[in-house]
Structure 1
Amino acid sequence: MNRIKTLLAEPLVLASIAILVLLAAGELLSPGFARGDQITRLLTVAAILGIAAAGQSLVVIGGREGIDLSVGALISLGALTAGNVMSGSNGAILPAVLAAGGVTFAIGIVNGLGVTALRIPPLVMTLGMMGVIQGGLVVLSRGAPSGNAAPMLMSFVNQPLLLGLPGILFVWALIAVAMWFLLRRTSFGYAVYAMGSNERAAALTGMPTSLLRTLLYGLSGLFAGLTGVCVIGYTGNSFISVGDQYVLPSIIAVVIGGVSLAGGAGNYFGVMLGAIALTLLQSVLTTLQLEFWGRQIIFGAVLLGLMLLYGRQKQLRV
């Protein structure tokens, strides 16, 4: 029994169980929910959330109660930038990706400088940046949908590319490998975990903690911009609030995946499971025809429940 309790206390085990339970519940409520093509569609949606959560997880692992509330606005900005650069042209896909990633990476760096150089709390800095970006998007787009995805990008995101799977799933797999290598096989990754566990001790050993933290916010912005490209590839066009729906889910996916909000612990594989579980939950709630506000209440309750269960197991680092 003790071993079972220990296993059930592991976030990865809980996330895996949640995925199986939600699949069973979805199939019970709507026969065909767990069909192969339906699972592929759900994984496509989970991949978009998972890419956004990749940047969020880096910021959280870095410690100092790091969080990036500007992710949603940056996704909207990335989608708007990519859509306007592409304007439906296949030949402009690469410039669109570079433009979207470059702009959002730069804004992420500004977030990082605000947190490190100006000592603004991450919650306040990223919340303020979210407001600035949202206001700028209204001015740029005049409140109307702006930009169109290239047909090749839409096909890459939505249509089978290899083995019956869309291209975005292979991109997500590559990101997973890159995240594993970055965090587990590089000095940068070791430094991020050390900083997240105890920033003061890391600084005393000579680690450039301010530079590291600034880069983490820059990477969070970069992943948000790439998510924006995927979003416009999935939907075909963009509007100013298209990324708002990813803010809370990106945080919940990180917590479900076992990343400690105190920093210094967690891995991206767990975050991927969290993104899949959360996407399944959203799909089940949609099957139940629950209104958007009801889904938001449940998402918030899930986050609070996870925090009570294991999100605050470790004391806050200094």
Structure 2
Amino acid sequence: MQSGHSQDKSAQFLGHFKNPLLVAFILIILLLVAGESLSPGFASIEQILRLLIVAALLGIVAAGQNLVILGGREGIDLSVGGVVSLSAVLAGNVMDGSNANILAAIAICLAAGAAVGLLNGIGVTLFGIPPLVMTLGMLGVLQGLLVVIRQGIPSGLAAPALANFVSKPFLLSLPGIIWLWAAVGLLMAFLLMRTALGHKIYAIGSNEKAAYMAGIPVRLIRIMLFALSSMFAAVAGICILGYSGTSFANVGDSYMLSSIIAVVLGGTPLSGGKGGYTGTMAGAFLLILMQSILTTLSIGESGRQIVFGLTLLVLLLFYGRSKALRG
């Protein structure tokens, strides 16, 4: 009896480590300790704050990616990098260093993001194009458009107020971008857990046919998810402009793979139907932390991409495959 009781306790203890959110927090602590040992000051408050700013940029992109993935049907939005770049270029050229043009830039970027997302959603739902193919094709269109327009040359300037919002203390000594990310986190938690729409998103991701038979407007909601994904990417593009000061045609390229990894790191399987944004927030910070350590180790961009790709493959083996794969 004693042996069986101790085995149950051991199994219960080990079961906690199947929780991706708990694993992410443990890894964050371990990486901070490792970073501090490699480079004293790595785990200082100032450095953690800088990492949080970069993580917030990724986390905002990942919010939209999270919604698309939760919606099931192996939904992935590969066009987010292109939308980030387009938004940064549009915002930079509309603002052109003037605070007076911030609202106009935000409106134009959100409208452009919504248009791209609507096209993605319509292609996936009405024309039956697989999300992977549709969004990859849209990414190619956006990248080609940006190259033709800007030819790889930096253009436009961030408004001073935007730059200060992203990088300077805004409230309680924290930059505005961190408060914005916190607001996104609260909004996502409310949407997914406290609204009928959130429950419908989980229902569609869990079993699309059953959701349709229950009267849920599956196509309309899926189109909306792609529109929201692109709009979150557009917001991130505006913030990235404030962070860098100017925009490049390929400034958003690194966010495509990273946003997917952050979602899976947070425990949302690519099959959809379960998970949440709190884990994705932890996954975004963990990923930025990994990137910072790789930089500390003098590993170049190509090496970091290899590590990220391998990380995604490993995560898919553990968290990406659900017992109830959706058909």
Question: What is the aligned counterpart of 1:189 among 194, 198, 202?
Answer: 198
Structure 1 match to 2:3: none
| 2:99 paired with 1:102 | no
Structure 2 match to 1:125: 134
Q: Distance in 2 between matches of 1:312 and 1:213?
A: 22
- Where 1:244 maps in the other structure, the secondary structure is coil
1:143 deviates by: 2.6
Counterpart of 1:207, as a letter, is: I
Unaligned 5+ residue runs, structure 1? Answer: none
Per-residue deviation, residues 30-71 of structure 1 (Å, max 9, x unmatched): 000011111100000000000000000000000000000001
- Where 2:241 maps in the other structure, the secondary structure is helix
Per-residue deviation, residues 1-46 of structure 1 (Å, max 9, x unmatched): 2122111111011100111011011101000001111110000000
Q: Distance in 1 between matches of 2:129 and 2:326?
A: 18
Counterpart of 1:220, as a letter, is: S
| 2:72 paired with 1:60 | no
Structure 2 match to 1:84: 93
Structure 1 match to 2:24: 15
Structure 1 match to 2:220: 211
Structure 1 consecutive aligned stretches of length 4 or more whose deviation exceeds 2 Å: none
Per-residue deviation, residues 66-98 of structure 1 (Å, max 9, x unmatched): 000001001000101111110000111111111
When the two chains are superposed, the root-mean-square deviation of aligned CA atoms in Å is: 0.8
Q: Contact 2:271 / 2:322 at 8 angstroms: preserved in 1? A: no
In the superposition, the TM-score normalised over structure 2's length comes to 0.96
Per-residue deviation, residues 154-182 of structure 1 (Å, max 9, x unmatched): 01100111221100000011111111111
Q: Contact 2:268 / 2:319 at 8 angstroms: preserved in 1? A: no
| 2:256 paired with 1:247 | yes
Which structure has the greater CA radius of gyration? 2
Q: Contact 1:262 / 1:314 at 8 angstroms: preserved in 2? A: no
Structure 1 segment 144-155 matched on structure 2, within 5 A: 144-155=153-164
Identity of aligned residues (%): 56
Structure 2 match to 1:293: 302
- Where 1:134 maps in the other structure, the secondary structure is helix
In the superposition, the TM-score normalised over structure 1's length comes to 0.99
Q: Higher mean Cα deviation, 210-219 or 135-144?
A: 135-144
Q: Contact 1:260 / 1:314 at 8 angstroms: preserved in 2? A: no
Structure 2 match to 1:220: 229
1:203 deviates by: 0.4
| 2:286 paired with 1:277 | yes
Q: Distance in 2 between matches of 1:72 and 1:140?
A: 17
Structure 2 match to 1:177: 186
Structure 1 match to 2:240: 231
Q: Distance in 2 between matches of 1:8 and 1:183?
A: 24
- Where 2:254 maps in the other structure, the secondary structure is helix
Q: Distance in 1 between matches of 2:26 and 2:260?
A: 20
Counterpart of 1:185, as a letter, is: R
Q: Distance in 2 between matches of 1:155 and 1:302?
A: 34
Q: Distance in 1 between matches of 2:237 and 2:319?
A: 31
- Count how many residue pairs are aligned between Structure 1 and Structure 2: 318
